[in-house]
Chains A and B, each alone.
Chain A
Amino acid sequence: GESVGLHLPTLSVQEGDNSIINCAYSNSASDYFIWYKQESGKGPQFIIDIRSNMDKRQGQRVTVLLNKTVKHLSLQIAATQPGDSAVYFCAEKPGGSNYKLTFGKGTLLTVNP
């Protein structure tokens, strides 16, 4: 569902559960993707990135999956903690010499203790 006021997609999970945040990107020529986390009152922070020649990449408690066929990106957070509560953005970079990073809409993740 959507958060009234912010109009952001929202995801509410219990502490300890796994979270999956989805992102549909727009440009089939994009060759690099990044997930950012933005806590309230702060700037976005890098979480994990993936190149278009990969379909999966793992970090610490996070996994990014890329499905180029349907232009879909997902971020999986294992054992979600209250500190994971934030807005999560995916970003895509077009291929070639276009250096512009374009951000998606953002998803608000709320972790209930």
Chain B
Amino acid sequence: DTAVSQTPKYLVTQMGNDKSIKCEQNLGHDTMYWYKQDSKKFLKIMFSYNNKELIINETVPNRFSPKSPDKAHLNLHINSLELGDSAVYFCASSLRLGGFGAGELFFGEGSRLTVL
């Protein structure tokens, strides 16, 4: 069974469109994250939710809106897509927020978004 699963794996869309990426974890973790990885492989945190509560919002444009319906799910909705949004988006989860050992993140396989 996949621990952190995200869909879709690939997404190709036109500028200006709205799209969503879904993430689910079956690890029973309290905390979930979205990371963005650019073409240079640089990984940057976007959001973190702990038990459905937004904890980290890392100066991401308002066009990005995370939603956590329950602690096992964290979805990412992106409005008015721009060329610069093209990247691989990774969902991750950790056992709990903060604390030694809790920093171990379990990542999904990534969703490659291409905006044309």
A residues sitting closer than 8 Å to B (CB atoms) are: 6-8, 32, 34, 36, 38, 41-46, 49, 51, 87, 89, 91, 93, 97, 99-103, 105-106
Most buried by B among A6, A7, A103: A103
Q: How long is the Cα–Cα vector from A84 to B101 in the complex, in angstroms? A: 24
Q: Can you list the 5 inter-chain pairs with the closest CB atoms, starting with the nearest?
A: A43-B107, A103-B43, A99-B98, A106-B41, A93-B103
Whether A101 contacts B103 by the Cβ 8 Å rule is yes
Q: 14 A-B residue contacts at CB 8 Å?
A: A6-B41, A41-B109, A42-B109, A43-B92, A43-B109, A43-B110, A45-B107, A46-B106, A93-B103, A99-B97, A100-B45, A101-B103, A103-B43, A106-B42
In the bound complex, CA of A42 to CA of B9 (Å): 11
Closest to B104 in A: A46
Known: A42-B109, A43-B90, A49-B103. A100 touches B40 (CB 8 A): no
On B, residues with C-beta under 8 Å from A are 4, 35, 39-45, 48, 55-56, 58, 90, 92, 97-98, 100-101, 103-110
- In this complex, what residue of B is CB-closest to A106? B41
A42 to B43, CA, bound (A): 13
Min CB gap B1→A, angstroms: 16
Q: Chain B residues with Cβ under 8 A from A36's Cβ?
A: 105
